[in-house]
Amino acid sequence: MKTKSAFYLFLLIILTHVNPLMAQKANKLPQLLIRLDDIGMNHSVNMAAEKVAKTGLPFSVSLQFACPWYQEAVEILKKYPNVSVGVHLTLTSEWKNYRWGPVTGRTAVPSLVDEVGYFPHSTSAFAKSGYKLDEVETELSAQIERALASGLKISYIDPHMGIALSTPELRALTEKLAHKYNLAISTLSSVTYFGETYMEMWGEPIATKKKIFLDYVSNKLNPERPNLVVIHTATPSPEMDALVDMNSNMMNAKDGKPLTSLHRQTELNMLLSPEFRSMEGKKFRMINYRQLLATKDISILKASNTK
């Protein structure tokens, strides 16, 4: 009897020491922030976000509240507390034959729309459009207020195609809105507010995208800083397969066939792959922006270079 008691005491001592050690080791793993962009853009993008949400892993989504399918996205995201939500501030409409315009309506912000009432199709078109800063503020405020009224907990804002941080004036305006609505600003490739490193999979070739991603999250994460990887996902659909990106030749084959759908399917598959899932807790610890910001003071936003 004494032998059995001694064994259980020994086991208790081991468990008491091992569990904290395991927790300490997990806390020392690099932090991986996965951010899915363009949610609400269409049904296929929303379905992909839900597939990732069903894994239970913590991640973030940037939702385009100016897009036609945002209401479906809101309905989906309310079911998944593991997902942190941001507003993907939108001032462009980049798909051929699939366009959107301002939440406020074309007459309220006439400098932000083209001749048929949609946002400009590219960053360069926006830059040359003669946009007025007060109209940009009106529109972006309306997008944020639509988000807040949706019932979702909104953690941050970030710029679709980088526009809302692309000039000193637009950056100052975005920071003003972040302060006004008590929201964080997620990292752009050249600007960070909370020390995140930045990696985006959008421009990687389809054939090597998964390999590059898995190598990056396995071997190249910074153990001292949160590591943001921006992902664009979608499920296969006739609508998605027909989308032509008017900004990048990389998203279209030489014969003009759209490649965006294949890019996004590849990025979805790599997130759902057993190889990636098996790395969580071993190579990195996944967090979302809500968890990151719980330890940060967002009342003082100070931009710095990501390099």
Over residues 250-261, the pLDDT tens digits come to 898 888 889 999
Task: Please determine, for residue 305, whether its predicted confidence score (pLDDT) is greater than 90.
Answer: no
Task: Please determine, for residue 240, whether its predicted confidence score (pLDDT) is greater than 80.
Answer: yes
Confidence of residue 306 (pLDDT cuts 50, 70, 90): low
pLDDT, average across residues 109-134: 96
Pairwise CA distance, residues 263 & 254, whole Å: 15
Range with the poorest average pLDDT among 132-146, 201-215, 285-299: 285-299
pLDDT, average across residues 1-23: 49
To the nearest whole number, what is the mean pLDDT of the chain?
91
Q: Which residues of 65-93 are buried (b: 16+ CB within 10 A; e: fewer)?
A: bbbebbebbbebbeebebbbbbbbbbbbb
pLDDT, average across residues 295-307: 73
pLDDT at position 190: 81
pLDDT at position 254: 85
Task: Please determine, for residue 299, whether its predicted confidence score (pLDDT) is greater than 80.
Answer: no
Q: What is the DSSP string of the chain?
A: -HHHHHHHHHHHHHHHHHHHHHHHHHHHSPEEEEEEEEETS-HHHHHHHHHHHTT---EEEEE-TTSTTHHHHHHHHTT-TTEEEEEEE-----BTTB----TT-TTTSGGGS-TTSSPPSSHHHHHTTT--HHHHHHHHHHHHHHHHHTTPPEEEEEEGGGGGGSSHHHHHHHHHHHHHHT-EEPPPSSEESS--EEEE-TTS-TTTHHHHHHHHHHH---TTS-EEEEE------HHHHT--BSS-GGGB-TTS-B-HHHHHHHHHHHHHSHHHHHHBTTTBEEE-HHHHHTTS-TTS---EE--
pLDDT, average across residues 199-215: 96
pLDDT at position 249: 81
**Which residues have C-beta within 8 Å of that of residue 282, sequence separation ≥ 6?**
29
Confidence of residue 296 (pLDDT cuts 50, 70, 90): confident
Confidence of residue 6 (pLDDT cuts 50, 70, 90): low
Q: Does the 30-305 domain belong in CATH 3.20.20.370?
A: yes
Over residues 28-77, the pLDDT tens digits come to 899 999 999 999 999 999 999 999 999 999 999 999 999 999 999 999 99
Task: Please determine, for residue 277, whether its predicted confidence score (pLDDT) is greater than 70.
Answer: yes
Q: Give the domain ranges of the chain.
A: 30-305
Task: Please determine, for residue 295, whether its predicted confidence score (pLDDT) is greater than 70.
Answer: yes
203 with 247: CB under 8 angstroms? no
Q: Provide the whole-model pTM.
A: 0.89
pLDDT at position 22: 43
